[in-house]
Structure 1
Amino acid sequence: MSQRVAVVTGASSGIGAATARALAADGWHVVLGARRVDRLEALATEIGGEAFHLDVTDPASVTAFAQGLSRCDLLVNNAGGALGTTSVAEADDAEWLQMFEMNVMGTLRMTRELLPAIRSSGDGIVVNVGSIAAREPYRGGAGYNAAKHAVAAMTRVLRIELGGEPVRVSQVDPGMVETEFSIVRFGGDEARAASLYEGMDALTAEDIAETVRWIASLPARVNIDTMLVMPRDQVSAQSIHRRA
């Protein structure tokens, strides 16, 4: 295939789905990975891409996904998420382990498996979708803060390890984005999730997708190491302007 290939994880909804659409519109052949294959297949049909089942918390699933690819020029590690809001004192081991599996180990597995193809592309790109939680710990986000700080450290060390090679490594850290993220975090409580965005203009999935698309469109000499993207109404993790 002569067309450049982008792999997007967590592509069944939210930022992942929006990123797939943005990259396809920019000329990439997009390979979609997520657990909800029905959604993936509909999106793949829409954008002319490919859809494959992928569970980044399952090493065998990641290996099978990678073996099905003949090329990868861009990897967008978007799969991840938060669970609960418990403090360190009340932390649930299972929640923390699941968050590390989704965010940290999932990113590690995908990067490790696809790095040979990314290196051989001649201008490979790895974009990790992080969070403001990777920069600024906040009350109610202990486990997620820890996981996203780990992703940030992994992104940085990968950049160091690949210095001098034809691979760019970037991390995009979104602030408040209104997607299914908070619904999952709150165990399906849609009202509680919606209350987070009341009185303010949150980012959309398309806003972050455009950021990823822009990073991938830049000349090979340009590496955007990190970007923090917040709504105008948000000035820090928990400092938010809300209108009456």
Structure 2
Amino acid sequence: MRALVTGGNRGIGFAIAAGLVARGTDVVIGARDADKGQAAATELGCQSVHLDLERPNTFAPAIQAAGPIDILINNAGILIEDSMIAAPDGLRCSMQVMFHAPFELICLCLPHMREKGAGKIINLSSGWGSFAEDMEGPGGYGVAKAALNALTFALPRDLPAGVTINAMCPGWVHTDMGGPSAPRTPEQGADTALWLALDAGDVTGKFFRDRQEIQW
């Protein structure tokens, strides 16, 4: 069983990759910086591919290099806090990294999952993109995460039999993005993603935090 973790060279993605490796999963991490990706992969004992979510021309070569993917974890994200009106490119970039790229990677991984009759897709989202939690994400972040949530909710109707998709919120995690004041460790943030990937069964089209379903 092989998993691809985008943005797996640091933070929550690194913790997810480490947890998967510890459970005996064949792991590939995708990294925008190929050198940093290889350094992280060496530390983890896994494979790395160059995958820049702002550059769609890297997607297909990365999937080809990674090999057939059974578990896709769309972890990589970006936090741009600028006004969407004053600096609209921030929204465009947020949507590319956290909505368009995950969808394209799903499409690239689906042929193998369809053939196998099984597959897991986990989207790293956020309460900041939840309407139930007032969509408090700044700039384009909350909008992009809300779009990712909508994709997760709607896509099960089009997925092949045996393929599941879920979103999860890791909480406020002490990473480069979350900052030093965040109360949760990357390992705590990674826990629900690992549970969805390996232990949650055939649940699909849901949104989770701390292994509990939450509202969109």
> One-letter code of the match for 1:40?
G
Are the aligned partners of 2:135 and 2:142 in contact in 1 as well (CA < 8 Å)? yes
Question: Closer, same or farther in 2 for the Cα pair 1:222/1:152, shift >3 Å?
Answer: closer
Task: Give the Cα separation in 1 of the matches to 2:89 and 2:185.
Answer: 30
Q: What are the residue-to-residue correspondences of 1:104-183 with 2, within 5 Å?
A: 104-135=99-130, 136-138=133-135, 141-162=138-159, 165-182=161-178
Task: Give the Cα separation in 1 of the matches to 2:89 and 2:72.
Answer: 28
Question: Closer, same or farther in 2 for the Cα pair 1:18/1:95, shift >3 Å?
Answer: same
> One-letter code of the match for 1:218?
D
Are the aligned partners of 1:123 and 1:167 in contact in 2 as well (CA < 8 Å)? yes
**Corresponding position of 1:43:** 40
Task: Give the Cα separation in 2 of the matches to 1:45 and 1:37.
Answer: 12
Are the aligned partners of 1:77 and 1:129 in contact in 2 as well (CA < 8 Å)? yes
> One-letter code of the match for 2:61?
A
Deviation digits for residues 176-209 of structure 1, max 9, x if unmatched? 1110114xxxxxxxxxx44xx2xxx611211122
- Structure-1-length-normalised TM-score: 0.78
Gaps of 5+ in 1: 183-192, 231-244
What is the CA-CA distance between 1:139 and the residue it aligns to?
5.2
Are the aligned partners of 2:31 and 2:50 in contact in 1 as well (CA < 8 Å)? yes
Task: Give the Cα separation in 1 of the matches to 2:204 and 2:96.
Answer: 27
Question: Closer, same or farther in 2 for the Cα pair 1:140/1:80, shift >3 Å?
Answer: closer
What is the CA-CA distance between 1:58 and the residue it aligns to?
1.3
Q: What are the residue-to-residue correspondences of 1:1-244 with 2, within 5 Å?
A: 4-86=1-83, 90-135=85-130, 136-138=133-135, 141-162=138-159, 165-182=161-178, 193-194=179-180, 197=181, 202-218=183-199, 220-223=201-204, 225-229=206-210
> One-letter code of the match for 1:6?
A
> One-letter code of the match for 2:170?
P
**CA RMSD of superposed structures (Å):** 2.1
What is the CA-CA distance between 1:140 and the residue it aligns to?
6.3
Percent of aligned positions that are identical: 31
| Stretch moving more, 24-33 or 35-44 | 35-44
Are the aligned partners of 1:123 and 1:220 in contact in 2 as well (CA < 8 Å)? no
Gaps of 5+ in 2: 212-216
> One-letter code of the match for 2:16?
T
**Corresponding position of 1:234:** none
Q: Tell me which stretches of 4 or more aligned residues in structure 1 moved more than 3 Å.
A: 137-140, 219-224
Task: Give the Cα separation in 2 of the matches to 1:211 and 1:140.
Answer: 21
Task: Give the Cα separation in 1 of the matches to 2:10 and 2:124.
Answer: 14
- Structure-2-length-normalised TM-score: 0.88
2:13 is paired with a residue of what secondary structure?
helix
Task: Give the Cα separation in 2 of the matches to 1:104 and 1:92.
Answer: 19
Are the aligned partners of 1:57 and 1:105 in contact in 2 as well (CA < 8 Å)? no
What is the CA-CA distance between 1:61 and the residue it aligns to?
0.3
> One-letter code of the match for 1:110?
L
Total equivalences in the alignment: 209
Task: Give the Cα separation in 1 of the matches to 2:137 and 2:100.
Answer: 22
